[in-house]
């Protein structure tokens, strides 16, 4: 039986520490997408801005924290298989937005079952409360979708200042 030589604990710690230092080195700030979600902001933005333009409102811009918050909400709903703003005991919209660093005030539109971003945006346009959010005095948005284990799509839009 041969013995396998394993690195010493000190060598392991030095190598692990070096890896962590190198992982932290970056020349660009890139926000990673929320695992399990698909960012649909770039596809939704022209649809929402066309609607806003028709109402004489200024266009919205893309917002990274809102994209992250929308992705997290879409994933939460897909995992729970429920279209709800608040999922679980103690869930709080304001806390979720602050944790995602979304500029307040903010609003959230949710939907389920639509197969395209265009259909999700149309569902929000057809809903007076969701339409009011999209025509509100917000400056930016993020939109994401996540698929539940049963194949159903869950959509979230976060509008922010």
pLDDT, mean of residues 91-110:
89
Note whether residue 17 is domain-resident: no
Tell me the residue range of the domain where 86 lies.
37-160
Domains in the chain: how many in total? 1
Answer yes or no: is pLDDT of 158 > 80.
yes
Among 33-37, 87-91, 121-125, top mean pLDDT goes to: 121-125
Q: How far apart are CA 112 and CA 147, in angstroms?
A: 10
| Structure tokens given for 71 | 């992705």
Phi and psi at 137, nearest 5°, equal: -85, 55
Note whether residue 143 is domain-resident: yes
Note whether residue 86 is domain-resident: yes
Task: Write down the pLDDT at residue 90.
Answer: 66
Task: Write down the pLDDT at residue 32.
Answer: 43
DSSP string covering 118-132: HHHHHHHHTSHHHHH
Averaged pLDDT of the chain: 81
Q: How far apart are CA 8 and CA 1, in angstroms?
A: 21
Which tens digits make up the pLDDT trace of 60-78?
A: 999 999 999 999 999 989 9
* CB contact at 8 A, 119 and 66: no
**Of 100 and 157, more confident:** 157
Which tens digits make up the pLDDT trace of 3-28?
A: 444 444 444 334 444 343 333 333 22
Note whether residue 136 is domain-resident: yes
Note whether residue 2 is domain-resident: no
Note whether residue 150 is domain-resident: yes
Domain containing 125 — which CATH number?
3.40.33.10
Answer yes or no: is pLDDT of 123 > 70.
yes
Note whether residue 70 is domain-resident: yes
Task: Write down the pLDDT at residue 4.
Answer: 42
* CB contact at 8 A, 143 and 134: no
Can you say whether the dihedral through the CA atoms of 31, 160, 48, 151 is positive or negative?
A: positive
Note whether residue 9 is domain-resident: no
């Amino acid at each position: 039986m041969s013995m396998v030589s394993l690195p010493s604990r000190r060598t392991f710690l030095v190598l692990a520490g070096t890896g962590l230092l190198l992982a932290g080195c970056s020349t660009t700030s890139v926000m990673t997408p929320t695992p399990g979600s698909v960012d649909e902001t770039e596809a939704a933005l022209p649809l929402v801005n066309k609607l806003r333009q028709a109402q004489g409102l200024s266009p919205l811009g893309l917002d990274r924290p809102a994209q992250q918050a929308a992705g997290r909400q879409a994933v939460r709903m897909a995992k729970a298989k429920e279209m709800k703003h608040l999922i679980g005991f103690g869930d709080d919209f304001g806390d979720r937005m602050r944790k995602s660093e979304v500029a307040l005030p903010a609003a959230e539109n949710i939907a389920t079952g639509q197969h395209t971003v265009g259909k999700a945006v149309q569902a929000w346009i057809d809903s007076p409360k969701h339409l009011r959010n999209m025509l509100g005095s917000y400056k930016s948005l993020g939109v994401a979708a996540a698929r539940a284990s049963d194949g159903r799509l869950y959509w979230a839009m976060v509008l922010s200042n």
